[in-house]
Amino acid sequence: MIPPDNMPEQQEDSFPISVFPKPIREIISETKACLNYPTDYIASAICFTLSVGIGNNFVAKVKEGWDERAILYMAIIGRSGVNKSHPLSFAMQPLFELDMNSSVKYQKERKEYDRLLFASRKEKGSKEEKELPVEPVLKKFIVSDITPERLITIHQDNKRGICLYVDELMSWLKNFNRYNSGSEEQFWLSVFSGKPIILDRQGNKSSAFIKHSFISVIGTIQKGLLKELAKGERTENGFIDRILFVFPPNLKKEYWNECELSTHIAPLWESIIRKLTDIQCTTGENGELIPSKLAFSTEARSLLYKWQHMNTDLCNTESDDILVGVYSKLDIYIIRFSLILQLARWACDEAERMEIDQTSVEGAIAIVEYFRNSAKRVQEITNSSASLEQLPTDKSNLYNALPMEFTTGEGIKIAQKLNISADAFKRFLADKKGKLFENVSHGAYKKMV
């Protein structure tokens, strides 16, 4: 076991784990040390699972008429073999367990319902006609490969909130509109803001209405597919802006070790999530959930506004329109992470849940700045891909001939074999530095695409 307060020094640009309460820091340090879970992956997966545990039960009140739910759209980036999926599975295990228990309960209730329904139909018209039984509903937190219509139906039975979990994010995006000609992408743009959902089924009198939607989304994606992710209208309609990219720098596959995970870690994480999910939803006369509203303390509000002014200045001076869109969405995400951290601290007995305090806002600032840096690196890659496509044939051949990492001298030798002079190679290197090449040290470079 590794004490959380004696964790290794945090690397620059890594997820700011210091924002979490002590029990969650311990979970992160233990799973990192014993299971080789990359810190960024397990920390982000924990944030995501907390968001689902909070659901529609709580909102952050910014001002009258402006509430924010803890909805997250998240993409975990990494090449094959760097342990992307396991941290996510670990973090979401308490929700999987709840869903499994609910499924067992539902199957029993469904069997009894079918029996009673059959008996009621047999007695139809008799003097002792019985009242029809109430049909059971399946309670869920997680959905996976699913049509929008079915997702809405499940959400109507689970108004406290659900999440979409896709192991490969690109499979979700490629399946948009596979069942109908409508715009599924527009659906996800809308529910990001927790807007109402209205479903009118063709040829069926029944319909679905959800006043306050809550659907968080998470999945993994390989670095090489980021270019594909940015294709089409997704960079223009704000879809990509909504995705938080978890993108650890220079992540490599690690050796196995003999360290055993402490037996209390998984139960500890489960107890934190269960403290959130066990909260009974408050409902009104019409069956709609009534969330508890957490306003910001005076100090927290002042800090929040100060950060937003700084972020606005960055938006107004940034020349890249895509990054401007990303930065604008951080205005929303800082509120959501403030809510998540406040309730995480409450679930760990380190804070109250009456309001969002300054500590939670400070932590939220650190998190959104991490995601700002990740967005910049993702944008560098997608821009590099576009730059690579525009290369003339001789430069394209040169780029492909270069190894992933090389020195200036090595590059010159490869260039000369392709009849490209040393001076022409150096000009190419200087022109494409930061676009196709990263200068890792003096005279040493790394390809970015």
Where are the chain's structural domains? Answer: 1-9+18-295, 391-447
pLDDT at 7 over 70: no
Q: What is the mean pLDDT of residues 349-368?
A: 97
- CA 402 to chain CA centroid, Å, is 35
Q: Which residue would you say has higher pLDDT here, 119 or 357?
A: 357
Instruction: Tell me which of 91-95, 356-360, 400-404 is least confident.
Output: 400-404
CATH T-level fold of 391-447: Arc Repressor Mutant, subunit A (1.10.10)
pLDDT at site 309: 97
Q: Whole-angstrom Cα distance, residue 414 to residue 411?
A: 5
Q: What is the mean pLDDT of the chain?
A: 86
Of 162, 172, 166, 165, nearest to 138 (Cα)? Answer: 162
- CA 188 to chain CA centroid, Å, is 14
pLDDT at 245 over 50: yes
For the CA atoms of 88, 89, 90, 96, the dihedral, rounded to the nearest 10 degrees, stands at 130
Amino acid at site 112: E
Instruction: Tell me which of 176-185, 252-261, 337-346 is least confident.
Output: 176-185
How many angstroms separate the Cα of 392 from the Cα of each of 381, 387, 397, 421? 19, 11, 9, 16
Q: What six digits make up the tokens of 82?
A: 């760097």
Q: Which residue would you say has higher pLDDT here, 48 or 255?
A: 48
pLDDT at 296 over 80: yes
pLDDT at site 118: 80
pLDDT at 2 over 50: no
β-pair type (215-221, 73-77): parallel
Q: Which residue would you say has higher pLDDT here, 442 or 5?
A: 442
Structural contact between residues 157 and 137, judged by C-beta atoms closer than 8 angstroms? yes
Instruction: Tell me which of 100-109, 231-240, 306-315, 320-329 is least confident.
Output: 231-240
Q: What is the mean pLDDT of residues 70-74?
A: 97
pLDDT in tens, 148-158: 888 888 998 99
